[in-house]
Amino acid sequence: MQRQLSVKHLLGIKNLTAEDIELIFETAEEFKDVINRPIKKVPSLRDITIANVFFENSTRTKLSFELAEKRLSADVINFSSSGSSVKKGETLLDTVNNILAMKVDMVVMRHSSPGAPHFLSRHIEANIVNAGDGTHEHPTQALLDTFSIREKLGDIAGKKVVIVGDILHSRVALSNIFALQKMGAEVMVCGPITLLPKYISSLGVKVELDVRKALAWCDVANVLRIQLERQQIKYFPSLREYSLYYGINKKMLDGLDKEITVLHPGPINRGVELSSDVADSDQAIILDQVENGVAIRMAVLYLLASVSS
Ligand code: NCD
């Protein structure tokens, strides 16, 4: 029997099993071969229509999903809330039901409210992929991050990964914690105490306030952006001060007795969380993450489409 995902929607990493993640990775490896061939397209989703519904800004994620859908030969429609009837007061459910009335099979959604895709999944039949819900989860980002670490280091189990930065507001942080732990990594979070949620140690992660100690401990550092757009109050005095204490530069990495791997989900604020000499170094696998993102999203869409049939 063909292996299948245990879920119909990809709402978060929390409700995936390690077997689901393994299946996504193996499928992504096959699709990575496909997108590196001269003919990069397969007919796998030829009769499927996918709506990318984005209520929040996006560059990488939106392009990556759209490319993944096109490489799978799906029909694609794009909706973005700016310039739409959302501005005229339409509800989320009405907006999505109107899109679905056009016979759409899958919805990829980004929304600023945590839980928005979970809410939709209780009201509509189409498969839903969460492309980031507020400060909550960003499952395909965590899958592509974990896949990229595995590709670079050969295995995830037993590896030490630190997530540095705005743990409180970043959906990448929570999804990464779940994905890495499910695949057997040891996870640490590091940032100013004001940007670490109070519940964080209940997730079984180590907590470190000193970035130098965190770097000395880890094999991999996943460095996150300060989510200024989600901060209603001041969590630290200034970006300059943040960068002084938590910004990672080449000198710090060269001072370690090992070579660690550096990830960043983008967009990078050069000179704040990472200096350019780190972002552009061979230790950083930031562009591999982007390449792998397309293969991972192809795998997720392909596998979800076969769950519903
Ligand atoms: C992340 C996001 O949107 O959560 N970016 C992304 O998806 N590539 C991280 C961020 O915005 O900092």
Cα first-last separation, the chain? 14
Q: Hey, what are 220's tokens?
A: 């991999």
Residue 271, judged by CB atoms within 10 A of its CB (0-12, 13-18, 19+), counts as middle
What is the DSSP-derived secondary structure letter of residue 229?
G
Out of 63, 109, 141, 273, give the residue to mutate to test ligand 1, the one with the largest number of ligand atoms within 8 Å of its CB.
141
Residues 275-294 pLDDT 10s = 999 999 999 999 999 999 99
CA 260 / ligand 1 centre spacing (Å): 22
13-138+290-305 is classed CATH 3.40.50.1370: yes
Residue 154 pLDDT > 70: yes
Average pLDDT over residues 139-156: 98
Round the average pLDDT of the chain to a whole number and report it: 95
Q: Hey, do 13-138+290-305 and 139-286 end up sharing a CATH topology, with the first three levels equal?
A: yes
pLDDT band at 308 (very low <50, low <70, confident <90, very high): low
User: What share of the chain in percent tops pLDDT 90?
Assistant: 87
pLDDT band at 82 (very low <50, low <70, confident <90, very high): confident
Q: Is 60 in the pocket of ligand 1 (CB under 6 A)?
A: yes
Q: Is 134 in the pocket of ligand 1 (CB under 6 A)?
A: no
pLDDT band at 84 (very low <50, low <70, confident <90, very high): confident
Out of 13, 61, 129, give the residue to mutate to test ligand 1, the one with the largest number of ligand atoms within 8 Å of its CB.
61
Q: Is 172 in the pocket of ligand 1 (CB under 6 A)?
A: yes
pLDDT value of position 102: 86
Q: Residue 65: name the closest of 105, 26, 108, 28 by CA.
A: 108
Residue 193, judged by CB atoms within 10 A of its CB (0-12, 13-18, 19+), counts as exposed
**Poorest-pLDDT segment among 65-79, 84-98, 154-168:** 84-98
pLDDT value of position 88: 79
Q: Hey, what are 309's tokens?
A: 């049939």
Closest ligand 1 atom to residue 132 Cα is 4
pLDDT band at 71 (very low <50, low <70, confident <90, very high): very high
According to CATH, the topology of domain 139-286 is Rossmann fold (3.40.50)
Rounded to the nearest 10°, the torsion over CA 302, 306, 307, 309 is: 140
Residues 6+ away with beta carbon under 8 Å from 123: 93
CA dist 120 → 113, 124, 295 (Å): 12, 6, 26
Rounded to the nearest 10°, the torsion over CA 237, 230, 82, 294 is: 110
DSSP string, 277-292: HHHTSTTB-HHHHHHH
pLDDT band at 195 (very low <50, low <70, confident <90, very high): very high
Domain boundaries, the chain: 13-138+290-305, 139-286
CA 111 / ligand 1 centre spacing (Å): 12
Out of 137, 170, 172, 287, give the residue to mutate to test ligand 1, the one with the largest number of ligand atoms within 8 Å of its CB.
172
Q: At what angle do helices 18-35 and 139-153 cross, to 10 degrees?
A: 70
